[in-house]
Structure 1
Amino acid sequence: MGRLVVVSNRVPVPDKKGTAPAGGLAVALQSALEARGGLWLGWSGQSCGEDAIGPLKTLKDGNIDYALTDLTEKDVEEYYHGFANRVLWPICHYRLDLAEYGRREMAGYFRVNRFFASRLLPLIEEDDLIWIHDYHLIPLAAELRRQGVKNRIGFFLHIPWPAPDVFLTMPVHEELLTSLTAYDVIGFQTVHDRENFADCLARQGLSRRLGESRFSVGERTFTAKPYPIGIETEAFAALARRAGETTLHRRMLQSLDGKSLIIGVDRLDYSKGLTQRIDAFETFLTRHPDNQRQVTLLQITPKSRSEVPEYEAMQRAVAEQAGRVNGALGTVDWVPIRYVNRSLRRPALAGLYRMAKLALVTPLRDGMNLVAKEYIAAQNEEDPGVLLLSRFAGAAAELKEAVLVNPYDVEGTADAMARSLAMPVEERRERWKGLMATLRKNDVFVWCDGFLTDLAGATLPRIRAAS
């Protein structure tokens, strides 16, 4: 049985104590790598001058080898800040108005993918399975194939795949689509994403569909399927139970002074619907004034991609909007919105999820959104909170018992907040049971197993985190 080779833009390298970041994706992939023996390669996060890129930085932790490469400042600007995050990201999130295509950035994106291929090539062994992640590295398999790599190569897209009329507006759409046909297995978050991809191929005449999940290009075939990503459900539930006993939890409860907590946790991004959410919360308070002084919205929004002008402008807009609502509706002893512009550690988040009566997960477009799943896992089964979820999040395809809303409908979302907060405990329990059953059935390890089994073309040992 060959090794697993994972390639991603960034790599969660263990710290000096051997502790790796605790996100569910990292946990699952590290478990898979440890089970099979493996290599994880990606960008170090460091940039340097044109002539300063040195050898790979390597680290071994147990059965896993980590390999990190620096990029030049030009590479970072063109590949990462440029094409990946100012063309692919907005287009995949249906924001054509924010896509800034330039030939220089496009060339940098393909150049860096060739560079990643050259760094990976000497490390590949004959029986390795290669699993490449996300929109930064779409052309990587095609570059490896050009250099003679015959290993099975899979790709998973963590963000949405847009409809043809959106994707095909990109000047290099055909080259990207053709690059994807070099993979053996392509994974999407939802059936809808896979069908959008299939429609793009059909529109361009790039492949023939052989069945629901099988496609052919010339003499080779590949699989394209939905593999909805999960979380480490039981571990996160246990984390939330323990967090309820911490000093932070007690301080937060004391500061609420009996008020119900509503929570939103999102990276600062225009896809998350933050301004619409604050509008909806303000509308909820004005249409249902009995809730004033009875609820507090805690919006945790870490900064994101501050080098990109659109994100700087959005940061100012969201902060000003929250301030305006607080100024208009707040009192001396009640602040409607607590706006936190930094990240919190997962144990702290788990505890906050557990005490929140309502979670607002209302992106305008999202590949999956694991906050929705973490919130459900964190709940007290005797008195669970309610998940209010955008229909345009990938999670909505699985989490049918959530209260589904259209985030563009501000008044409808506001009324859904009121219904959710007034929901009887019996209905909350019933909804939570269905949601939790889904999370347990399809956790992050099931996701990992399913993809790798299809990639290997054979049954593999099941992957589980250490208990």
Structure 2
Amino acid sequence: MARVVVVSNRLADPRKAAAGGLAVALGETLSATGGLWFGWSGKVVEDGTPGEGELHLQQAGNVTLATVDLCREDHDTYYLGYANRVLWPMFHYRLDLADFNKQSLDGYRRVNRMFARKLMPLLQPDDLIWIHDYHLIPLAAELRSMGCGNRIGFFLHIPLPPPLLLAALPGHEWLIRALFAYDLVGFQAKADVDHFERYVQAEAGAELLGDGRCRAFNRTVLARAFPIGIDVDEFCQLAQGKEARETYETMREQYSRRRLLIGIDRLDYSKGLPQRIRAFQELLASYPENRRSATLIQIASPTRESVDAYADIRRELEHLCGQVNGDYGELDWMPVRYIHRTVARKRLPGLCRAGRVALVTPLRDGMNLVAKEYIAAQDPQDPGVLVLSRFAGAAEQLREALLVNPYDIEGTAQAIQRALQMPLEERRARHQKLLERIRAQDVHWWRRTYLETLQSVEP
């Protein structure tokens, strides 16, 4: 295989276990091909010049890490502004939270242009270039304008909204036209591919050539679904580690008289956390046998706390948890244990395994790997039950989970009750099928299938 060049907003040293499954999976191919990983360094230079950033090169084994600093203005417009105050809410169907302004768009385009300018001299003629996520949608178009003729692929880790929602984005034509600078555009789910095809047909007059190929703007792009997975063996191995076993034993000891429900999320308005707490509240109200019996542990890791919408969701969530605990709590039982901190990755398998039920109920999600990690962590002889939002990309694959509409509070409460009462034989049968599926389409399958498709596509 040709040398692989990965471009993402942030990058991690693939040699470090803390980097996570995705970084390790990408690192395998990068290392095997003597590859290059390019992205933002994470450093913000307070007095830097917009559109200019210092390039840093370092070796991580056989992989070259190339990072660029951002000045304060570029960081605030490109990253906090357009990427996270416009594209993130828009692509998660939250048009009401999008903050459109020209300065953010200018910063987004400026940083993508700078990244292209810094990356271009590092490229070799036969490199395969794989660009990741919504921060960098126009990067291929910038590279093409500088004469780059390499095969370039793009993967969107978040969902793509339906055509009418996408058309509400000011400048949507320019943004989607930029996708036609790629040879391959990968999405998490078939629904996202459908949204893309319907949009380019309606708004760009694209010709659908079959098998995912779309032609417009004198370019043909291949659009396919490549559902991302986890490294199942790596997560199972993590479950055998000291920290995971300690966490599992602690949970079993402290909650020996309770049935644990768990939620593990970033504190984000897309995750449906208020709706989840209301569904648990409805469970206690409608099925009183769960009082003093069921406990929900909700992890809500901090994220993007400088964005106002995240402060709002935190206040709402803390109010709801207090309300449930105030209405139903006893001296020896707290219905909701809310934790606004990040749990160490090494402890997550133990927490997952201790949960009789996992609540993965986003309002919209590109994939949601917590659902797959929960499955991998279970004891096959006595597995827990996954309650999964039908609006998570994972729902297309994980059909044996209990699929719910998170906006339907009563319906979600009923599904939780069904999960708590599910017979062992049914739990085993569902878990076996779910585990087979996440093994068949793990993160290595995802990486391999995507790169093989990119390498074979006609440039």
TM-score range normalised by the length of the shorter chain: over 0.9
TM-aligned CA deviation for residue 58 of structure 1: 2.0
Q: Look up the SS of the partner of 1:327 in the other structure.
A: helix
The equivalent residue for 1:50 is 48
What percent identity do the matched residue pairs reach?
A: 51
The question of whether the paired residues in 2 share the 8 Å contact of 1:243 and 1:350 is answered with no
| C-alpha RMSD over aligned residues | 1.5
- Paired with 2:387 and 2:19, the residues of 1 have a C-alpha distance of 25
- Paired with 1:143 and 1:454, the residues of 2 have a C-alpha distance of 23
Indicate whether 1:315 and 2:317 are aligned.
no
- Paired with 2:193 and 2:429, the residues of 1 have a C-alpha distance of 31
- Paired with 1:33 and 1:122, the residues of 2 have a C-alpha distance of 18
**CA 1:245 to 1:124, structure 2 compared with 1: closer, same or farther past 3 Å?**
closer
**CA 1:144 to 1:54, structure 2 compared with 1: closer, same or farther past 3 Å?**
closer
The question of whether the paired residues in 2 share the 8 Å contact of 1:239 and 1:347 is answered with yes
Indicate whether 1:148 and 2:147 are aligned.
yes
The equivalent residue for 1:361 is 360
Instruction: Letter of the 2:13 partner, please give it.
Output: V
- Paired with 1:87 and 1:215, the residues of 2 have a C-alpha distance of 26
- Paired with 1:154 and 1:384, the residues of 2 have a C-alpha distance of 38
The equivalent residue for 2:34 is 37
The equivalent residue for 1:24 is 21
TM-aligned CA deviation for residue 250 of structure 1: 2.3
Q: Look up the SS of the partner of 2:80 in the other structure.
A: helix
Q: Look up the SS of the partner of 1:21 in the other structure.
A: helix
What pairs with 1:61-210 in structure 2 (closer than 5 Å)? Answer: 61-210=60-209
The equivalent residue for 2:432 is 433
The equivalent residue for 1:464 is none
The equivalent residue for 2:413 is 414
Q: Look up the SS of the partner of 1:27 in the other structure.
A: helix
The equivalent residue for 1:216 is 215
- Paired with 2:382 and 2:245, the residues of 1 have a C-alpha distance of 19
Instruction: Letter of the 1:338 partner, please give it.
Output: R
The equivalent residue for 1:462 is none
The question of whether the paired residues in 1 share the 8 Å contact of 2:53 and 2:70 is answered with no
The question of whether the paired residues in 1 share the 8 Å contact of 2:13 and 2:23 is answered with no
TM-aligned CA deviation for residue 238 of structure 1: 2.7
Q: Look up the SS of the partner of 1:338 in the other structure.
A: strand
TM-aligned CA deviation for residue 241 of structure 1: 3.9
Instruction: Letter of the 1:6 partner, please give it.
Output: V
The equivalent residue for 1:3 is 3
TM-aligned CA deviation for residue 22 of structure 1: 3.8
What pairs with 1:289-304 in structure 2 (closer than 5 Å)? Answer: 289-304=288-303
**CA 1:27 to 1:392, structure 2 compared with 1: closer, same or farther past 3 Å?**
same
The question of whether the paired residues in 1 share the 8 Å contact of 2:7 and 2:38 is answered with yes
TM-aligned CA deviation for residue 54 of structure 1: 5.4
Query: What are structure 2's unaligned runs of at least 5 residues?
Result: none
Q: TM-score, with normalisation over the residues of structure 2?
A: 0.96
- Paired with 2:242 and 2:259, the residues of 1 have a C-alpha distance of 18
Instruction: Letter of the 1:25 partner, please give it.
Output: L
Query: What are structure 1's unaligned runs of at least 5 residues?
Result: 459-467
- Paired with 1:219 and 1:264, the residues of 2 have a C-alpha distance of 47
- Paired with 1:20 and 1:71, the residues of 2 have a C-alpha distance of 27
The question of whether the paired residues in 2 share the 8 Å contact of 1:5 and 1:39 is answered with yes
Instruction: Letter of the 1:50 partner, please give it.
Output: G
Q: Look up the SS of the partner of 1:290 in the other structure.
A: helix
Higher deviation after alignment, 102-111 or 254-263: 254-263
TM-aligned CA deviation for residue 206 of structure 1: 4.6
Runs of 4+ in 1 over 6 A off after TM superposition: none
**CA 1:33 to 1:265, structure 2 compared with 1: closer, same or farther past 3 Å?**
same
TM-aligned CA deviation for residue 332 of structure 1: 0.8
The question of whether the paired residues in 2 share the 8 Å contact of 1:178 and 1:206 is answered with no
The equivalent residue for 1:390 is 389
- Paired with 1:247 and 1:218, the residues of 2 have a C-alpha distance of 57
TM-aligned CA deviation for residue 240 of structure 1: 2.0
- Paired with 1:392 and 1:268, the residues of 2 have a C-alpha distance of 18
- Paired with 1:229 and 1:243, the residues of 2 have a C-alpha distance of 28
Q: Look up the SS of the partner of 2:301 in the other structure.
A: coil
- Paired with 1:237 and 1:329, the residues of 2 have a C-alpha distance of 36
Q: Look up the SS of the partner of 1:365 in the other structure.
A: coil
Q: Deviations over 1:144-194 (max 9, x none)?
A: 000000000000000000001100001110000110000000000111101
Indicate whether 1:380 and 2:355 are aligned.
no
- Paired with 2:44 and 2:227, the residues of 1 have a C-alpha distance of 33
Q: TM-score, with normalisation over the residues of structure 1?
A: 0.95
Instruction: Letter of the 1:8 partner, please give it.
Output: S
**CA 1:206 to 1:25, structure 2 compared with 1: closer, same or farther past 3 Å?**
farther
The equivalent residue for 1:12 is 12
Q: Look up the SS of the partner of 1:186 in the other structure.
A: strand
The question of whether the paired residues in 1 share the 8 Å contact of 2:193 and 2:224 is answered with yes
Instruction: Letter of the 1:87 partner, please give it.
Output: V
